[in-house]
Amino acid sequence: MHRTQETENQTGDRDHQPIRRILAVNLNYLGDALFTTPALASLRARYPDASIEVLAGERAAAILAGNPNIDRVLVRPRRSGSARASAFARTIRTGRYDAAVLFQSIASNAALAWLLGVPIRVGFAQDGCTPFLTHRVAERRAGEHVVEAYLRLADAVPEATDSGKSAPPPLSIAISTEDRAFADHVFRHHELMPPVVGLVIGATRPQKRWPEEYWARLAEKLWSTQSVSCVLLGGPEEVEAAQRVMALAPNTPLSSLVGKTSEKQLAALVDRLGLVISGDSGPLHIATAMATPVVALFGSTDPAETGPWQGGSAAARSPCAPAVVLYDALACAPCRKNPTCGGRFDCLKSFTPERVFESACDLLALPLRRTALPMIAASAPRTPAVAVSGGSPRRISEGGSR
């Protein structure tokens, strides 16, 4: 297999049985679902004649729909608990699968796959799943990108012959002509002239969200110094936040598409943008999949694990758009779901609008016009940011080093 495996095989002769039907148990969030697309591409390359079906949450299923490596996308119920378990059991009974790949480490799913007789059950050896798996893959290591861990799951599905070494696939989204027509209409309706910058103002947790006043000041500076228009992007839960950001920038022609797009329409729109600026969010990874340049703001999560996917090793990277990742690695980072700062979120406030503006101008190849912004919040000491440009990582200084 082409990546180093840490797998315990419990199947014996079952590894030599033909695999004709594969169920991939996917995730709920946009970014997590996109992180599985390289693994699904790897499975398709190794099993070109197999039927690959994916069970996923509603939003994840929407972004995976039409993916050429998936034969069928199944939507799991919104409700958790017994309703979801019953739906999963029905899926297995009717699917008659030869293998199940459990991207989600939920013990009840692993137990049902075992109880209902799926011959090959591949998953991470964690969260109570281990006894029910036939192929146990070591859990994700600190500093390992989620995509790499999912690729190890795909590699653990047995095959008769080794398919050889291949470059890690990119993230992928299938866009329809209707979705592209929607993006064209948006540009015409809002009279947007390239380059247009997308500002993703929301995220799943508050410790991933850049301050609203910072978004407003950034949009003002891009317009006043570079004549660059911005559009606000996000889901329905961020509509009120978008209204507040627009109110903070009354003299800036700022458009909001927050809550007005489907997942695929958002992808088509992002494909038309010159740059996307975002925290660790699903739209950030949509931009990466569409090869749109990004400035990614990371504080509570580690970009080595969930940052813009740029392929595997530097020698085998797929072509990708430039990305600048700002991450100061404060002493408390990454706190993930357990912040210790009492809601200050110093890790994000250290990215001043001026600092993000400079990174945006760099990716847009615009000359810097250094006009100071009013002080909004004191900046924490900064370390060099990590930049990935065209697939080659480098170190750039953003105000000094530690």
Domain count for the chain, please give it. 2
- Cα 29 from Cα 64, distance rounded (Å): 11
Nearest CA to 36 out of 187, 165, 148, 192 is that of 148
CATH number of the domain where residue 240 is located: 3.40.50.2000
Same domain, 137 and 244: no
- Boundary (domain end) residue, out of 94, 125, 156: 156
Domain that holds residue 61: 7-156
Note if the pTM is more than 0.75: yes
The reply to whether 116 and 209 lie within a common domain is: no
Radius of gyration of the chain, Cα coordinates, nearest whole angstrom: 22
Q: Where residue 336 falls among pLDDT bands split at 50, 70, 90?
A: confident
- Judge if the upstream peptide bond of residue 250 is cis by omega within 30 degrees of 0: no
129-151 residue pLDDT tens: 999 999 999 999 999 999 999 99
Q: What is the pLDDT of residue 205?
A: 81
Q: For residues 116 and 199, state if they share a domain.
A: no
Q: Which residues of 63-94 are buried (b: 16+ CB within 10 A; e: fewer)?
A: bbbebebbeebbbbeeeeeeebbeebbebbee
CA-to-CA dists, residue 204 to 208, 247, 294, 328, angstroms: 7, 23, 19, 21
Give the pLDDT confidence of 189-229 residue by residue, as tens digits: 999 999 999 999 998 888 889 999 999 999 999 999 999 99
Per residue in 53-86, pLDDT (tens digit) is 999 999 999 999 999 999 999 999 887 778 888 9
Q: Kindly indicate the confidence band of residue 375, based on its pLDDT and cuts at 50, 70 and 90.
A: very low
Mark whether 137 and 206 lie in a shared domain. no
CA-wise closest residue to 198 among 254, 262, 246, 260: 254
